[in-house]
Amino acid sequence: PSLEETYLPDWSARFKWSGTTSLSIGGMLSEYAKTTGIELLDLTPKMRQVRQSNAPLYLEVDAHPNSKGHKFLPQLIGPFLYE
């Protein structure tokens, strides 16, 4: 998921905005995967869960994962690939 998708709940609460992830790239991909029967691993819920623990997963200067993010993502993706 993008930095924006991961932080969406924080922004929604801060700005009292009831946004939806269906407007996001991940939301659109998820909807497309459902309609076409493609299996998709949505990392957004787990990334948000880690985000709530105040563990930064993205670089401060852009939306790319930092070293913690790069260590965390394979832990989520690996089991999905081996199923």
pLDDT in tens, 5-32: 676 665 555 555 455 445 567 777 788 8
Whole-angstrom distance, CA of residue 14 vs CA of residue 8:
10
Whole-angstrom distance, CA of residue 52 vs CA of residue 68:
15
Q: Residue 11: what pLDDT?
A: 54
Q: Residue 21: what pLDDT?
A: 46
Q: Residue 32: what pLDDT?
A: 84
Whole-angstrom distance, CA of residue 55 vs CA of residue 74:
16
Please give the full DSSP string across 28-77, using - where no structure is assigned: HHHHHHHHHT------HHHHHHHHHTT---B-SSSSSB-HHHHHHHHHHH
Q: Residue 30: what pLDDT?
A: 81
pLDDT in tens, 49-59: 877 676 788 88
